[in-house]
Structure 1
Amino acid sequence: MKMLKDLKLRRKYRFLVLRIEGGEVVPDATAPPAAGAPQLEAALPFSDCRYCVYDQDYTTDDGRKTSRLLFISWLPHNATPYAKMAYAHGKTAVRRRMEGLFDVAASAFADVAAALGIEDDEDSDSDLDS
């Protein structure tokens, strides 16, 4: 899959969203390297399943900047049971073609945010600290 090589080696995309269509896994959406979690959230459908490969930049414990690829299985709660079964069953075949990726299972964007290390500021008690 050429788009995956562009993501892994050339860092041409921040993420690649894949869907199953007619028994084949095909690209559904991509984003430029400057994109982030908000663009990923917008690209994931509210009530349908997808696979996603996300290029995450992070800093190691010793201060080095690096990146890793996350393979996200997007199976939202309100997707049809048929879609969930199809994506769960097809995951093994898709993952065989992609080595060295970290697995993330997500049914809500909060699961994706947690995997990306994004803090949720809505539950913060900072207004009460006066």
Structure 2
Amino acid sequence: MANAASGMAVHDECKLKFLELKTKRTHRFIVFKIEEKQKQVIVEKVGDPTRSYEDFTASLPADECRYAVYDFDFVTEENCQKSRIFFIAWSPDTSRVRSKMIYASSKDRFKRELDGIQVDLQATDPTEMGLDVIKSRAS
């Protein structure tokens, strides 16, 4: 099923991996890539639960757009263990304009396919999605 705005379909594996992250917690993060030739969003990389936030940010290309989902665990001021699922639209300033446009126009529909996202974040450089930003947005 393609998106009228951008013509992008969402591969079933995207929804499957997200469901695993959300319900079974078998992944710490998932990086999604738009395959322009096939006109669909696919899973590019999956990080297991032992991976750190640094592992996650290192898996994003420096000059290409990506969508990513990160399962962030934290402890509240009341000392409760909690988790938030972040959706990150990574669109570095150095990426191609066409790529930025395709990712921007497909984002909302793709996000709707992933039911259970709690925090939405847009980042054009690594400082916009630093661990401090994630921590402040989680609470």
Question: Structure 1 residue 58 and structure 2 residue 78: aligned?
Answer: no
Aligned 1:1-130 pairs, distance under 5 A: 1-21=15-35, 22-101=38-117, 102-113=119-130, 114-117=132-135
Deviations 1:86-108 (CA, angstroms, capped at 9, x unpaired): 00000011011123311000111
What is the RMSD computed on CA atoms of the aligned residues? 1.3
Rg bigger for which structure?
1
Q: TM-score, normalised by structure 2?
A: 0.80
Question: What is the one-letter code of the residue matched to 1:109?
Answer: P
**Cα distance, 1:61 vs structure 2:** 2.5
Please give the secondary structure, in 2, of the residue aligned with 1:117: helix
| Identity between Structure 1 and Structure 2 (%) | 31
Larger RCO, structures 1/2 (Cα 8 Å, 6+ apart):
2
Please give the secondary structure, in 2, of the residue aligned with 1:3: helix
Q: TM-score, normalised by structure 1?
A: 0.86
Q: Aligned partners of 1:116 and 1:35: how far apart in 2? A: 16
Which structure 2 segments of 5+ residues have no match?
A: 1-14
Runs (4+) of structure 1 moved beyond 2 Å? Answer: 114-118
**Cα distance, 1:59 vs structure 2:** 1.3
Matched pairs, number? 118
**Cα distance, 1:115 vs structure 2:** 2.9
Which structure 1 segments of 5+ residues have no match?
A: 119-130
**Cα distance, 1:70 vs structure 2:** 0.1
